[in-house]
Amino acid sequence: MVETNASKSFISFEPLGIVLAVMPWNFPFWQVFRFAAPALMAGNAVVLKHASNVPGWALAIENIFIKAGFPENLFRTLMISASQVEAIIMNPHIRAVTLTGSEVAGMNVAAIAARALKKTVLELGGSDPYIVLEDADIDKCVATAVNARMINNGQSCIAAKRFIVVESRLEEIESKKAQIMSSLIVGDPLLPESQVGPLARGDLRDELHAQVKASLDAGARLLLGGKSILGPGFFYEPTVISDVRTGMSLYHEETFGPVSAIIPVKDAEEASSVANDSEFGLGGSLWTNDIVRGEKLARAVESGAVFVNGMTVSDPRLPFGEIKRSGYGRELSHFGIREFTNIKSIWIA
């Protein structure tokens, strides 16, 4: 209820209808459920166009909803190609579109949806900052930093990518991070002892190596790795590179793989400035024992989320989303449930 001059007034959150979801391969279950659960809770129906290399996962998700007792056809998987997405978006039965994927894919889908005046939610790339201040707990910070960078072999939009470190702790961070990264076991992801698996495709590995080489040629300093691993599978060495500066590929571009870029800064003020010197704004992490200062700096970082003394994750209790070229809109929490609704005001005299 909302108090107005009416006898009764309130806000009604009503479903939009059928929502098309265009989803990626790197977390083929979680990213679909992260969108679908809130959208279905709000009363919408969902059609899924999953990545072309995970059709089995797409069909399995549809079967899960059927087994869970959802009404028939409330969630459907479309076995279509990328070239057919435009026709689906333009179909009058589709009322909104959500996409998780690349910037290029997001811009294309948003442009098509805009022609039909349909709402979109986009979760695109990220180059998340991982800020380390002088009073951070370095042992915990570095151990978490390795996990934050290496999740899914570094193929995650919310993986930490730019490690922004105050100069007073730089040498310690470099040494400990290189030591831990060098001990990781690279191998077949089906083997229990493996800690780092391959990249998804050869072109992704080639692009990652080109970013590494360009940054080293521009003056960055190699601490560990920096090469492809020969043999079957698209493996790349766990890599640590320091002295990354503005103008370098690793400073500005998203890196999708096991490469850590360390950016030295003088102090917290410069750390905040460097964190925001990016086209992306998905997540971020900040390490300090001064919680008051940590909260203040977290507010200054331009992103959809900042985790103080922890790694960025998508938690169903918190809204998940982004700003700048990382996209717009929110998933999860009550914000995600209301994202694909008509927020209707009802006023009764």
* Spatial distance between the Cα atoms of 168 and 148, rounded to a whole number of angstroms: 22
Strands (E), 105-171: 119-123, 128-132, 160-166
Torsions phi, psi for 240 (to 5 deg)? -125, 125
Structure tokens belonging to residue 49: 């166009």
Contacts of 158 (CB under 8 A, 6+ apart): 126, 128, 282, 283, 312, 313, 314
Considering only CA atoms, which of 105, 103, 137, 114 is closest in space to residue 254? 103
* Spatial distance between the Cα atoms of 44 and 332, rounded to a whole number of angstroms: 15
- 157 given a catalytic annotation: yes
* Spatial distance between the Cα atoms of 32 and 39, rounded to a whole number of angstroms: 11
Active-site residue (options: 62, 72, 86, 123): 123
- 141 given a catalytic annotation: no
Contacts of 180 (CB under 8 A, 6+ apart): 142, 143, 146
* Spatial distance between the Cα atoms of 179 and 257, rounded to a whole number of angstroms: 18
**H or E segment to which residue 37 belongs:** helix 30-41
Considering only CA atoms, which of 164, 178, 161 is closest in space to residue 134? 164
Q: Is 330 left (phi over 0), alpha (psi -120 to 50) or beta?
A: beta
Active-site residue (options: 62, 141, 157, 331): 157
Burial class (CB in 10 A: 0-12, 13-18, 19+), 331: buried
Instruction: Supply the residues annotated as catalytic.
Output: 123, 157
